[in-house]
Structure 1
């Protein structure tokens, strides 16, 4: 499994091993969802301004957000097992996740938990989006959020 973590922001100091934490979260989501070991995912940590520009350009929303996921795969509804197949040689590219560390820090304070917990939540949330989960309706939201809680609890990352 190839997990690339790039911290391109300088506004929030992360005083913990964020790379190890991110990798642990990605690996658990992939294990839980039976994603092949030869996969590749990129995680970029940036500031509010950087994610605002991405949010504007890709979603038409000119505001910062906490996490964006850019999946490199398409789900075939009739044949869901095809979702994790790789037609090319080399790793299965899942996609990229971008997290605003500034927004994450504000949310951690607002929700009364640690930055580690908030970052873990956003990584798991972003990974599930890469794998085709969404929260567009109540049923899919319940399924996705329940899975997020289970994964974070399994990792011992509690509120």
Structure 2
């Protein structure tokens, strides 16, 4: 049975519209031609995510998201997506959007990474942003 789970680490956070979010994420995955097996979103503090960034990616910087692809079968999504709630709040203010909208953007950004979309090069970043915008514009809540 496919599963989308939400967890918290070192942060107090209440996620709203969980069922609608799960439906939107699943529809995004299927629209890209993939099948969902298991996807975990872990909402955490800056410090928690910084430690993960240092330990697993050898980066010593704050980030809003880290995505781990645990898929073993092509076309099937299994992954863990860690999201800093502190970065979400700061970025929402910086980009003049609601915290909910920024969280949705980051949730779908991590999902798109699992769907094979990189964002290191300018051309890749452009495609990633276009995909984010497309799926954000298709949220029904």
Would you call these one fold, judging by a TM-score over 0.5?
Answer: yes
Q: Distance in 2 between matches of 1:25 and 1:48?
A: 26
Which protein has greater RCO, CA pairs closer than 8 Å, 6+ apart?
1
- SS of the residue corresponding to residue 154 of structure 1 reads coil
Aligned equivalent of 1:133, options 100, 107, 117: 117
- SS of the residue corresponding to residue 6 of structure 2 reads strand
Deviation digits for residues 13-42 of structure 1, max 9, x if unmatched? 44x6153454244223212212225x1111
Deviation digits for residues 49-99 of structure 1, max 9, x if unmatched? 00000011112112221000001137xxxxxxx721xxxxxxx45211000
Give yes or no for contact 2:34–2:77 (8 Å, CA) kept in 1: no
Number of residues of Structure 1 aligned to a counterpart in Structure 2: 140
Relative to its length, the structure with more strand (as a share) is 2
- SS of the residue corresponding to residue 133 of structure 1 reads coil
Normalised TM-score (structure 1): 0.78
Aligned equivalent of 1:43, options 34, 37, 41: 41
The aligned counterpart of 1:3 is 4
Aligned equivalent of 1:113, options 97, 105, 110: 97
The aligned counterpart of 2:63 is 65
Which consecutive residues of structure 1, in runs of 5 or more, have no partner in the other structure?
75-81, 85-91
Mean alpha-carbon deviation: is it higher for 126-135 or for 97-106? Answer: 126-135
**In terms of Rg, which structure is larger?**
1
Which consecutive residues of structure 2, in runs of 5 or more, have no partner in the other structure?
none
Over 6 Å off, 4+ runs: none
- SS of the residue corresponding to residue 142 of structure 1 reads helix
Measured after TM superposition, the shift of residue 141 of structure 1 is: 1.9
Give yes or no for contact 2:11–2:43 (8 Å, CA) kept in 1: no
Give yes or no for contact 1:22–1:123 (8 Å, CA) kept in 2: no
Deviation digits for residues 119-153 of structure 1, max 9, x if unmatched? 10000000111122101223222222111110000
